[in-house]
Structure 1
């Protein structure tokens, strides 16, 4: 009798370097680390813009390598194109067209990356990617809470509450909740690999309680 995990894996997982790159970009897209460290006042700074250039370059590279799979998701690409087009046009009535143009680029690249993730990380590979990424972010958050409390713990309105690698505790709550859901999916898909998913759920629960 085959296990559920065997039925859910129609194709092998992407190579390790692709998983690593995807996980890093997902972590950055959550707003972890770079904002609180490089722009603690939440003001837009040149260094934050520069950080995204290699992210966009990596996205273009992997999309080029996986163009056939991404092409199979053409309905999502059409929807994304329409949304980006509408946002681009909005710069003509925006009070700050330059900022709007940058936001359009950011939305287009993050949207393309989302389509890439959905097309390439199929079956159980997507929740595993999200679980592993969230687990690392959760461990990093704990380190910031106890070793760098000036960043990892709220100092103002919500003084004493954990915010981990993010600006706000709610940001951390959203990310670790999504991570816990992904871990639960991994656990349901393959009960033989229970240690990491169960540990991830426990860590995420602790972080949510800290918020």
Structure 2
């Protein structure tokens, strides 16, 4: 007989659903890198080797929680794997890359961390509906943003970068910007949804996130937020249109997106120069030129998972000397995939994205009552963020965990919804808000 609760010797009972909800929320908070890294980092947000060792410790309870939940719901886990074989293939890629990695030890160690992060994505996908995951993020990211505002008032020196930009409870202003952008999306989704009864709290959280976004000065996050609101309009219009209308809307959206990308490629640098702004995108343009040369040197298999940007790699050292600053990554997620896995790794990733976007859009059109809108927007937001930042395949990172969870959830629900127009899995018997209560 299945045990659905735990009872202590003194009598109180804790339901497994409460453990799942609290465990998932705490896991995302830990993987977001809030609070603790701030106290271990220096003024510039850099972490020493000893600090990084300390930060690995809180990850172990997260890994344990992930394993326990997946073991309890192993059939659902296997079903999620069967419905999207590309995700397991991507999980295997970092381990396979150790065979040709220039630093096999580093690649293997980081591959293990990535494996557990993707397992957490499976937990989120199989144990939470889109609306429940929205509430979970509303509470988790909201806590990070509120703490950021509070600490900026209580201890401005701690919550501010040397250049005066706000970083809140995170180690860098850009990270605050990313999570402020995601919080704006989540708060807006709660306001649009209306079923959670948190409109007043959502307005407050939206205002706090906007303050954090503006104070961080992260252009990547500002652009991603602008894209998010455009996408909300696009998916809403897509859902309300007829079949033929949807085809027209998608074609127009694709043409508009391509036009914007071409315009940015041709006119962005001259426009920045005319406005007196940094035309190198804070050093990214010369970095990308150097990185592209290194990619072409090992275009087939790459240098091994996250093995390129290490102090033992002379190729990375050469780039740092040429730039005059130590870039921690390529500041472009797509280029970092090529550095790690080459074309052989980019191909399955490129095949996975269109399928996920198509499945997400189909769910939004045919099964909107489950709250798919924000997950669709989140997926493309992260794709946009990776144009100037590296978030793909980052271990112990909440944003990539959510990105993978969205893709897994799309593939898990889409086949059954397309055939029966009904949910593929029985939704958890307890609502998330009730699951947070300990009886």
Q: SS where residue 85 of structure 2 aligns?
A: helix
Asked if 1:19 is matched to 2:21, the reply is yes
Correspondence 1:66 to 2:68? no
1:201 and 2:206 aligned:
yes
The residue number in structure 2 matching 1:161 is 165
**1:128 paired to 2:130:** no
- CA 198–176 in structure 1, closer or farther in 2 if over 3 Å, else same: same
Q: Secondary structure at 1:98's aligned position in 2?
A: helix
CA shift at 1:106, angstroms? 1.0
Map 1:168-207 → 2, pairs under 5 A? 168-190=172-194, 192-207=197-212
2:222 is aligned with 1:210 = no
Q: Partners of 2:99 and 2:48 in 1: how far apart? A: 24
User: Secondary structure of the residue that 1:152 maps to in structure 2?
Assistant: coil
Pairing 1:82–2:86 present = no
Structure 2 alignment gaps of length 5 or more: 1-15, 217-439
Please give the root-mean-square deviation of Cα atoms over the aligned residues, in Å.
2.0
Change in 2 beyond 3 A, CA 1:126/1:88: same
CA distance in 1: counterparts of 2:189 and 2:142, whole angstroms: 14
Tell me, yes or no, if structure 1 residue 57 matches structure 2 residue 102. no
Q: CA 1:67–1:210 in 2, change beyond 3 Å: closer, same or farther?
A: same
Give the SS at the match of 1:31.
coil
The gaps in structure 1 that reach 5 residues or longer are 1-13
Displacement of 1:77 in angstroms is 6.0
- Determine the C-alpha separation between the residues in 1 that align with 2:101 and 2:136: 37
Give the number of equivalent residue pairs: 195
Q: Within 1, Cα distance between the matches of 2:83 and 2:176?
A: 28
Partner of 2:234: none
Inter-CA distance 71–169: structure 2 relative to 1 (3 Å threshold) = same
Checking the alignment, whether the CA contact within 8 Å between 2:81 and 2:88 is kept in structure 1 is no
**TM-score, normalization by structure 1:** 0.83
* SS of alignment partner, residue 161 of structure 1: coil
- Decide whether the 8 Å contact of 2:37 with 2:171 is kept in 1: yes
